[in-house]
Every structure is written in structure tokens, then in C-alpha cells.
């Protein structure tokens, strides 16, 4: 079940850096990074099958749920379920609901348990080329609140300091919930082990995003490529998410292709219930060959279908002004919906190019499930029929449905949210211990 829409505000206040922006001695910086790196944890973007994870997952998806029902849906013995429930109750992530016990039943196995979500949150950051989203997520993966702030530019050190300060200020608002983890997603090349990011569009090279946030916030930090994270959100939080060991085994063993398009384009594969994360970083489809004179004729997918390319074409045709608040992709959408034929034609061309790109990837990889997301699809749903028509015409394989993301325009924050929760979903007891250890150390 996808999360409901969350309140969204814009954060524009200038915040003083939490770490001096001046150049530090190399030895000092290396020591700080080394210490912080102990709290960088590679994300777990997979359907976990460990006993504690299966019990926690059953409660998350089906709760309130009795222990004997957990045993039935997970395939675990009742003795194993009882042990894991006790451990999860002790860890604080489950709670009993004696008020929902079956009337006349004897013994604790008939007392339902559910996720104890109110005391906790995780912090989710999506670092975009222009805008950074900072969100609070509960243990169900639901977004509690999100703010948006312009992605800091300028020197790498200053930008990271500003980013960390914004995150710390945001966390300070949450007095009644205990933060457990930080999840970060970004474009470029993300090293999930060290927490370093190379992001050419931001001018970042080996940017220690993970270490800086771990030090500033006093929490474990996980980082992932944004498209891989979005695929993880579909896998673990989407409408077809599995619940327990016996749930939809065919899907868990299958493959899913996720394609994203907005300012950038990207793809990710889920194979056998796990997002494929190459050690050398995600592959790229930015330079996939395409043809569209209407959208600039660059011959490459990203520079043809990006928001920037569509807006540039709309400016040339005077659909939107050369500058000003209306000179945006939103202005192009509004013009098309108000009957501007040229605007509608541009967006139809974008849909055609995207549909053919999806067809090419599908024909190469032939996944069992095909999902598209990103505002190029979700902010103009009128274009999906055109995407599907272009896909059907270009693909040489049999008919296949294209599924739109479960998260609509919230896919970026959902991706960052699942990165912040992946460790908890895979090993809830171990994750709570790590979070408590980090909290004690910071205190």
C-alpha cells in the first residue's frame, strides 16, 4: 500500500555550517572521515528472509496480527515466531494489542502484535541536481513530512556543510520521535561502502556526504544511487510488495525493470527480490541513441527528454517566455492543458521517445515486470497512453504492460525513505542495536 500524500513545505532559511568550511589539514580530515565511516552502512534493497525480518515484515504488512497467523504466512514454526516476537518486543519495534485479543482465547499466542511506529522516525534525503528533499519517514515507510530546499552549490565543502546543517535543523523539529537512521539518495556514482559521491552536475568528486552527515547528525547513514533506491521502494513498499516467505514466490524469483526520467534518466533491475547494485556503480542510459529534431536533435536520450530539453524547445517555439516564473516545465504542462497545440505536440514527442527507449530496454533485458517513474511520466499522465503506444510499436517481443510507479510524484522521497529503512527491514534487531550504540556514542 503506497503512503498517502504528505504535507510539503519549502525550506529557504540560510543556516550556519555545522562544520568549518575552511580547508582542514589532510590528516584531520582523514581521521574524521575514518571515524564517521564506521557508521556508513550499505543499504539493504532486498526482500529479506531471515526469521526476525519475516516476522517484522508480516506485522508491517498485515498487522495487527496474531503469532499463529505470522507462523502461517511466513512458514516459520510457532516456537521460532514466539522467540522472534519476544526479541522484537524487547527491541521496541513491536507492541502487543491485548485489546484486540480473540474473546475467550487462552495464552499469549492469540494476542496480536503490530509495528510500534509512533516513537520512531528515519530521515530521508534526496539530493537532486536542483532541489534537495528532506523527509521524515515512519517504520511503515510512510512519509510524515517533507521539506524542499535548493541543492547547495558552490565549493564542495561549503555545499556539504549547508546540507548537513539543513538536515540537523530539520531533525530538531521532531521532539516526540527518536531518529534511528539516515538514508541518502543522489545521482552520479554513489559509493555505498564509504559514503562518497561523485556528482558531475554538482561538481562533486569524492564528496564525503555519508561521513559528514554521520558526524553532524549522530546517526548511522546509508546511501544509494537514486534510481536503485526508487526500484527498492517499488520492491519493498510498493503496491505489490511481498509479505513473508510464502508471499508471491514467483515474483520474488523474477525480474523487474525500473526506468526513471525527469532531469536525468536512469534504470535499475531487481532480480530475485534484490535490487541489482553493481560494485562499480549503476549503468547509464543517458547516451542511449534517439532521434528527435523537435526536442533538440542531440541524439542522446537524457538531453532529449529531460525537463530542461523540453523547456528549451518550448522557449524556441515561444510556448513559454524566455525567462521568468512561467518559463518552466510546469508552464509547458499548463499550456498543453489549456489547448496549446505546439505544447501538446512537444509533450507527445517526449512520450514517443520515452516509449521507444522503454521498448529497447525491455527487448534487451526482457523483465517479468516493467515499471516507469519520475515526473516525466507522473506530472503529465496524459502522455502515458502515447508512451504505451510507442512502446508497443517499437518492441519486437510480445505484448507487455507498463506499470506506473506506485508513488506518483513522491518517488524521490520514497526511494530515500526505503534506503533509511532497508537495514531495519533486513535485520530489525541488529539495526536497533546499531542505532542505540550510535546514539549512546554521540551522547
Domains of the chain: which residue ranges? 36-219+408-442, 250-406
Grid-cell match 553493481, residue found: 278
Q: Tell me the C-alpha distance between 317 and 381, whole Å.
A: 23
Quick check: 10 pLDDT over 70?
A: no
Q: Give 279's DSSP letter.
A: T
User: pLDDT band at residue 248, thresholds of 50, 70 and 90?
Assistant: very low
> How many CA atoms, within 13 angstroms, populate the side-chain half-sphere of residue 428?
29
Q: What is the DSSP string of 153-212?
A: -SSHHHHHHHHHHHHHHHHTT-SSSEEEEEEEEESSEEETTTTEEEEGGGTEEEE-HHHH
User: pLDDT band at residue 436, thresholds of 50, 70 and 90?
Assistant: confident
Q: Tell me the C-alpha distance between 69 and 49, whole Å.
A: 17
pLDDT digits (tens, 9 = 90+) for 52-91: 999 999 999 998 999 999 999 999 999 999 999 999 999 9
Say if domain 36-219+408-442 classifies as CATH 3.30.420.40.
yes
Lowest mean pLDDT among 242-251, 290-299, 329-338, 377-386: 242-251
Q: Tell me the C-alpha distance between 367 and 17, whole Å.
A: 46
pLDDT at 32: 52
pLDDT digits (tens, 9 = 90+) for 381-406: 999 999 999 999 999 998 999 999 98
Lowest mean pLDDT among 87-101, 218-232, 241-255, 300-314: 241-255
> How many CA atoms, within 13 angstroms, populate the side-chain half-sphere of residue 151?
18
* Count of Cβ atoms closer than 10 Å to residue 60 Cβ: 25
β-pair partners for 9: 147
Q: Give 439's DSSP letter.
A: H
pLDDT at 222: 97
Quick check: 93 pLDDT over 80?
A: yes
CA proximity to 39, closest of 222, 171, 163: 222
* Count of Cβ atoms closer than 10 Å to residue 42 Cβ: 16
pLDDT at 441: 75
Alpha-carbon distances of 195 from 36, 42, 220, 354, rounded to whole Å: 10, 9, 11, 32
Percent of the chain with pLDDT over 90: 75
Do the two domains 36-219+408-442 and 250-406 of this chain adopt the same fold?
A: yes
β-pair partners for 143: 137
pLDDT digits (tens, 9 = 90+) for 170-180: 999 999 999 99
Span 137-145, average pLDDT: 96
Grid-cell match 515486470, residue found: 369
The CATH architecture that domain 250-406 belongs to is 2-Layer Sandwich (3.30)
Amino acid at each position: 500500500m503506497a503512503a498517502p500524500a504528505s504535507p510539503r513545505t519549502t525550506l529557504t532559511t540560510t543556516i550556519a555550517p555545522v562544520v568549518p568550511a575552511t580547508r582542514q589539514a589532510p590528516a584531520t580530515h582523514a581521521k574524521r572521515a575514518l571515524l564517521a565511516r564506521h557508521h556508513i552502512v550499505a543499504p539493504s534493497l532486498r526482500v529479506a528472509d531471515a526469521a526476525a525480518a519475516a516476522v517484522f515484515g508480516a506485522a508491517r504488512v498485515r498487522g495487527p496480527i496474531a503469532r499463529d497467523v505470522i507462523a502461517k504466512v511466513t512458514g516459520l514454526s510457532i516456537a521460532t515466531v514466539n522467540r522472534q516476537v519476544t526479541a522484537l518486543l524487547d527491541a521496541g519495534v513491536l507492541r502487543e494489542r491485548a485489546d484486540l485479543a480473540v474473546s475467550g482465547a487462552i495464552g499469549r499466542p492469540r494476542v496480536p502484535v503490530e509495528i510500534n511506529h509512533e516513537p520512531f522516525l528515519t530521515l530521508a534525503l534526496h539530493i537532486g541536481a536542483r532541489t534537495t528533499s528532506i523527509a521524515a519517514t515512519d517504520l511503515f515507510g510512510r512519509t510524515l513530512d517533507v521539506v524542499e530546499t535548493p541543492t547547495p552549490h558552490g565549493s564542495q565543502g561549503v555545499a556539504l556543510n549547508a546540507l548537513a546543517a539543513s538536515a540537523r535543523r530539520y531533525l530538531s523539529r521532531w521532539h516526540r520521535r527518536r531518529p534511528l537512521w539516515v538514508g541518502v539518495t543522489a545521482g552520479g556514482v554513489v559509493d555505498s561502502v564509504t559514503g562518497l559521491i561523485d556528482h558531475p552536475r554538482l561538481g562533486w568528486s569524492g564528496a564525503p556526504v555519508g561521513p559528514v552527515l554521520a558526524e553532524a547528525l549522530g546517526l548511522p547513514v546509508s546511501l544509494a544511487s537514486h534510481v536503485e533506491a526508487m526500484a527498492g521502494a517499488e520492491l519493498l513498499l510498493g503496491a505489490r510488495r511481498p509479505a513473508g516467505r510464502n508471499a508471491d514466490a514467483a515474483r520474488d524469483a523474477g525480474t523487474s525493470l525500473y526506468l526513471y526520467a525527469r532531469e536525468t534518466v536512469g534504470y535499475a533491475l531487481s532480480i530475485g527480490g534484490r535490487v541489482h547494485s553493481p560494485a562499480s556503480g549503476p549503468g547509464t542510459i543517458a547516451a542511449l541513441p534517439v532521434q528527435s529534431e523537435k526536442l533538440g536533435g542531440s541524439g542522446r536520450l537524457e538531453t532529449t527528454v529531460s525537463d530542461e530539453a523540453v523547456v528549451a524547445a518550448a522557449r524556441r517555439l515561444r510556448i513559454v517566455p524566455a525567462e521568468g516564473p512561467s518559463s518552466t516545465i510546469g508552464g509547458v504542462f499548463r499550456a498543453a492543458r489549456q489547448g496549446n497545440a505546439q505544447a501538446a505536440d512537444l509533450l507527445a514527442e517526449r512520450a514517443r521517445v520515452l516509449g521507444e527507449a522503454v521498448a529497447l530496454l525491455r527487448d534487451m533485458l526482457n523483465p517479468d515486470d516493467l515499471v516507469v517513474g519520475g515526473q516525466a511520466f507522473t506530472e503529465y499522465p496524459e502522455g502515458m497512453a502515447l508512451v504505451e503506444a510507442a512502446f508497443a510499436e517499437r518492441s519486437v517481443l510480445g505484448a507487455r504492460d507498463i506499470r506506473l510507479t506506485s508513488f506518483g510524484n513522491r518517488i524521490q522521497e520514497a526511494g530515500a525513505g526505503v534506503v533509511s529503512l532497508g537495514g531495519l527491514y533486513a535485520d530489525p534487531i541488529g539495526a536497533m542495536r546499531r542505532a542505540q550504540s550510535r546514539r549512546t556514542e554521540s551522547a
